[in-house]
Every structure is written in C-alpha cells, then in structure tokens.
Structure 1
Amino acid sequence: MRKLLIPLLAGLALPTAVNAETWWLMAAGKFNQAAGSTAHNWAIPTNSEQECEFAGQKFLNGQYPNTIGTKARGYVCVKGK
C-alpha cells in the first residue's frame, strides 16, 4: 500500500505537466504511389504556436519528390491541453 501511496502523493503535489501548453501540428498530404495516390496524416506536438506555424510552413514549402502538386499538402495548428 505504501509503495502506491507515495508516488500518487508525489504526482498530486507536483503538477508540472498540467500547466504545460501544447500546440499540435495536424498535417496531411497526398503522395504518388505506383498503384495510385495515397493520403497520409500526421499529428505532431510542439511547444508553442510560433513553433507550430514554423513547422507547418516548412512542411508546405518543403521539396517532396512524390507529392501530387503543392496544393496536395495542408496543415493546421490546434491548441491542446
């Protein structure tokens, strides 16, 4: 019982992760494959809105050889808990 109680109390006394703000980069893209196009989705945690926007623009402006055009990619930044 004591082995479970001490970590539980320590977790309640030190709520460091509760106040952390996370922004999620939600990105999607269509890519050429031999049998046709396939869609891929990603959800990537970032530390701030600015970091999320920077990573999203990097994703949009990157050179991807198998991408179906530049309009086949998109992203949105979403604030998490």
Structure 2
Amino acid sequence: MSTDPQAAKLVANERVKLLANNLDRSSSACVTVGVATPLAGWIYGVSGIDKLPWWYLFGGLTGWLLAASLLHYLARRALKGLLP
C-alpha cells in the first residue's frame, strides 16, 4: 500500500467518478423503466396500459422523470468533489 499523496488523490478521484457514473446510469434506468416502457405500452396497447386514465400515466411518468433528474443532479454534484 502506497502512502504517496498523489496516488491517494487519484484513488479518491476515481471513487468519486465511479459514484457519479453509477448515479447517472441509475437515472438512465429510471427513464427506461419508468418512461420509455410505459409509453411504448400505451402507444402499442400492450398489457392494457392504454386503458389507464391519461392523468394516471402522466403522474407516473412525471414521478420517474423527477427521480431520474434527481439522480442525474446528484451525479453532477458528486463530480464537484473531485480533487484538483
């Protein structure tokens, strides 16, 4: 194990980047699972989702988009923790 401060800084930066990447991939998954999939089901009439009231679908899509936006924001905020 090295006690080199430069190496410690590199390791810390890589950990921050890994966290940010994980959060951003989670936001992409939220869009796929919560927005793209229900919209495709509604457009093609799969699983009876087209029988739901429009406001119910809109509320769910809005919730998933908010979750994705929050995760993306947290990823961007995590990147501010990078060491110079």
Report the TM-score when normalising by structure 1.
0.34
Higher helix share: 2
